[in-house]
Each structure stands twice: as structure tokens, then as C-alpha cells.
Amino acid sequence: MINKIVPSKSKSNQTTGNLLSQDGEAFYFSEFFTEAESQRYFLALENEVPWKQEPIKMFGKEVMQPRLTAWYGDSGKGYSYSGITMQPTPWNSTLIQIKEKIEKSSGVKFNSALLNFYRDENDSMGWHRDNEKELGENPSIGSVSFGATRTINFRHYFDKRLKNSIDLTDGSFLLMKGETQHYWQHSISKKSYPIGPRINLTFRTILSLETRSRSLN
Ligand SMILES: O=C(O)CCC(=O)C(=O)O
Ligand SMILES: [Mn+2]
């Protein structure tokens, strides 16, 4: 099943319905933030976040991630990353405003966020599931996008013929929930034409911040 759902532009906060044909739920809301809010948030985050390019281990070799990242969360407990324990950066006011808006709409309380900065069309994120045990059995993940439009691809982990993809536009919100992280992988592919930067925030609820490890390409 290959079907591309084009988001409707007719109403603000329009949802497309469940993007996944089975085994999980992913709901997309375009224009969740206004153009003015999106512009303001993009600039604030671009300038205020301590963006870093971090190394990861891939097939036993250390390589740099093809994007910049940052980690924010409730203060107190750290998480482990490549053998070292890191403390999340405490929330700034921009992130709190965004977090409160998506919490109100989704009914989910988030306590951490991974921030991704895609500098241009060459930055990307490989196929993965957000299924770390610290996120619990069926994690809800709230994903907010500002800046250039990028495509998120979904493929069923056990039946790779099942696919979908959707363009994540400036000011959009994608909520993944239910069994999604068991059954579906997602990725952000490179683009073959020049595009500007994009900021993505994935809000999560970590049940225990103590023993977290992450290795995404
Ligand atoms: O950039 C995106 O839209 C996806 C980010 C993502 O999947 C993640 O941070 O786990
Ligand atoms: Mn993810």
C-alpha cells in the first residue's frame, strides 16, 4: 500500500486522519502554529539553542550525525549516552510555550524533547523507531516542525511493503501514539534540490531519565 496524503490547506489545524493503515496512530496537523509564531519560534530556537553535531557509532565506527541536535528536559535526572551521563538542558521560555500548546491539544504531558536542526537538503535522519525502554510501552511523541518542509517516511517494520509519507510543513504538528513505535519505522530523507534550514522538536515522556541511550544515524 503506497499512498501519499497531501495535507489540506483549507482549514487551520486540519488533521489528515490516521496516516498509518494499521498497528499504530499518527495524526498530522498543518498550520498548528501561525506563520508569525512559527517565524518567531524558528529564530529564537536557531539562536538560543546550543546546537551540536554529535558522533554516533554505526557498525562499530564513529561517524558524525547528519544534523545538529540538542536535548532539553525537566531538570533532575540525567541520561546515559555513549557511556557518559548527560543532563538535559533546562527548558527555555520558547520551548515551554510550544510544549504547553501541544500538551493542551494532545492531552499528553511531556518531560523532555530532542531537538533536531537540519541545516540544508543534505541533512537527514535514518530509519528508526523511538522505542527505547525509557519511553515505556506505547509512547506518545509530539513532533513540531519549523522552517523548510521535509518529508517524513513511514514503513512497517515487519512488512516493509506498507509505507506512507507526508510533508511536514512550517508550523505543523505530528502526533505519533499507540503501537506506532513497535510496528513502524520513520525517517527523514535528504532532498535532491537546495532547501533552507529546518528545526524539528520531538517531545517525549521519559519514565526514567536515568539509563537512556540513543544511537540514531
Ligand atoms: O525531524 C523529524 O521530523 C523527525 C525526528 C525524529 O524522528 C526523532 O527525533 O526521533
Ligand atoms: Mn523519531
Mind listing the pLDDT tens digit for each residue in 11-33? 446 577 999 999 999 999 999 99
- What CATH number does residue 72 fall under? 2.60.120.590
Q: Which atom of ligand 1 is nearest to the CA of 152?
A: 3
For the chain, the domain total comes to: 1
What is the reported pLDDT for 145? 98
Cα of 128 from ligand 2 centre, angstroms: 6
State the residue range of the domain holding 43: 16-204
**Ion ligand 2 neighbours, Cβ < 5 Å:** 130
Q: What is the pTM of this model?
A: 0.89
User: Would residue 116 count as lying in a domain?
Assistant: yes
User: Cα torsion for 207, 62, 151, 197, to the nearest 10°?
Assistant: 100
Q: Which ligand is nearest to the CA of 128?
A: 2
Q: Which ligand is nearest to the CA of 201?
A: 1
User: Would residue 200 count as lying in a domain?
Assistant: yes
Q: Which atom of ligand 1 is nearest to the CA of 174?
A: 3
User: Would residue 138 count as lying in a domain?
Assistant: yes
Task: Share the mean pLDDT of the chain.
Answer: 89
User: Would residue 8 count as lying in a domain?
Assistant: no
User: Would residue 209 count as lying in a domain?
Assistant: no
How many Cα atoms occupy the beta-carbon half-sphere of 130 within 13 Å?
A: 24
Residue 148 burial (CB < 10 Å; 0-12/13-18/19+)? Answer: buried
Cα of 96 from ligand 2 centre, angstroms: 21
User: Would residue 216 count as lying in a domain?
Assistant: no
Cα of 75 from ligand 1 centre, angstroms: 22
Cα of 9 from ligand 1 centre, angstroms: 23
User: Would residue 6 count as lying in a domain?
Assistant: no
DSSP category for residue 15: B
Query: Which of 132, 152, 154 maximizes ligand 1 atoms within 8 Å of its Cβ, making it the mutation to test the pocket?
Result: 152
What is the reported pLDDT for 77? 59
Which residue in this structure is represented by grid cell 527555555?
A: 92
Least confident of 63-77, 142-156, 200-214: 200-214
Contacts of 138 (CB under 8 A, 6+ apart): 177, 178, 179, 180, 181, 182
User: Cα torsion for 10, 151, 27, 170, to the nearest 10°?
Assistant: -50
Backbone dihedral region for residue 139 (phi beyond 0: left; psi -120 to 50: alpha; all else: beta):
beta
* Helix (H), strand (E) at residue 90: none
User: Would residue 195 count as lying in a domain?
Assistant: yes
For ligand 1, is residue 130 a contact (CB within 6 Å)? Answer: yes
CA distances from 92 to 71, 72, 77, 113, 216 (A): 12, 9, 17, 12, 25
Which residue intervals of the chain are DSSP H helices?
A: 35-48, 93-106, 180-183
